[in-house]
Amino acid sequence: MAEYRNPVPTVDIIILLEDENGNVRKDEIILIKRKNPPYGWALPGGFVDYGETLEQAAIREAKEETSLDVTLLRQFHTYSDPSRDPRQHTITTVYIAKAKGTPHAQDDAKEIGIFNVNDLPQPIAFDHASIIKDFKNNVY
């Protein structure tokens, strides 16, 4: 019997914070510092659970890693380079979301920070530097 290997679906979320007037700050995003390999700073996100939609996964992962309840604004882009995750072939769908409040590192986030898109910490994990660059060039 043939064995089939398929890419694994994931989601990543570009979270923009709202100020007290409800204005979204597009020049700052939330990044988490990963507890587990591959180490580095990353967009909040993770694997899609069986029976879950991409949107449900994005909302869940954002809450698990940042403690924030997000509102998804739109689907941004899908990234599928087989080398984007050194652990295995993943395909990520990236969402842009907004949230109010102060993020707190949870789950597999060792630290959390709010960073200007033009002054990011290093190293950036996965292909997230490219994703953020695409965000800056297309949205910011």
If you write DSSP's letter for every residue of the chain in order, what string do you get?
------PEEEEEEEEEEB-TTS-B-TTEEEEEEESSSSPSEE-SEEEPPTT--HHHHHHHHHHHHH----EEEEEEEEE--TTSSTTS-EEEEEEEEEE-S-----TTEEEEEEEETTS--SPBPTTHHHHHHHHHHHT-
| Tokens (6 digits) for 109 | 């986030």
Per annotation, catalytic residue among 18, 20, 65, 111: 111
> Residue 111 catalytic?
yes
Residues acting as catalytic residues:
111
